[in-house]
Chain A
Amino acid sequence: MSTARTEFMAGVALRGLALSDLCSILDDAKIRWAGLKGIDLCHRAYPSPLARPMSDIDLLVDPRSLRAAAEALIAAGIPEDASDATHHRRFQWRLGAAPPIEIEIHRDLFDEPHGLPIDPAALLDRATSIALPDGSTLPVLDPSDAWIHVAGHFAYSDAGGVFVERAVADLEGLGRACALDAGELHARAAEWRLVRPIALVLSAVESARGRLTDPILRHFADLAPRFRDPRAAAARWLLRRRIERALAGLPAREPAVAMRALLAPGSIAGAKMLARAASR
């Protein structure tokens, strides 16, 4: 194996070891949890976990268990890392002198306040699990919840972000692998009030990089013309600009928090986000 591949594989191996450790710690502490984003998608949406790079491990716990989860990790010798995020706590799992693995324990799916009617405890109630190649199991969100979370995260947290192609591949892969249905996803997105942000971001992706072929992505992108208000037009224009810059490898000019304010469902949350963006 080449050095670069060995190092890449070592990163995957370390994440696998960290995940096994976390699984034991949280299960022993009787904390309900589910893997989010990369650690889930690399197993469910791609033919090989090697095909989906990730920088950290994201886990969702019941909001009432965040403190207990943090205490369990700290008691197990996993130190907490400073974080300014509102909805998660960050830890560094270490194996000797090997590079640390970043762990984020989330009590919610998006930065707070997000104004979205999402109940993390309900998500954990309908969570499922997948078998990993080493014979262990990984608790993960229901496939429709996972799809809406990834799409919502792309729209709402990353606001187009820097990982455009990866987000599209994540959504296409998960939709295909789990045989998801556009109508069902639409209904779930509507429950979370995320139809508008997902439609706008996918429409902006289509404008920036060409026609989307995946039927589920197409379904949402085709909904964008329904949103004709000035905030939606501004959001779509700015999203497209952010996505074009991301595809060109350039940093975004607009803070994601301001984008979230435009995408937020016309709410106090949007106003709070604008205030936060203005104060930075």
Chain B
Amino acid sequence: MKSVPTLTKTELLILEQLVGNRELYGLEIIKKEPRLKRGTIYVLLGRLEEKGFVKSRQRVEANVSGLPRRVYAITGAGVAVRQAHRALDEALKHFGPAGETA
């Protein structure tokens, strides 16, 4: 049986920021979403990449000194899983406790 990749709330926040933007690096994502932490952003991006929801590449900039930057972009699977999560959230909003419709 094929395992279904899980998605945490924080990972979903990252996907939300990547949708609509071409490529972002960690600091740009944090500036857009202050609920994300600097210490964990790259760990979470690494996990999302392992799951196949985001892809990354090293940005090569001529005439720019300093450490190389790795930018992240959302994949098709990432867009699909985000839409599925949003649909699930919408569906759950219409149900109250004990299976009653709201």
- Binding between chains A and B: no
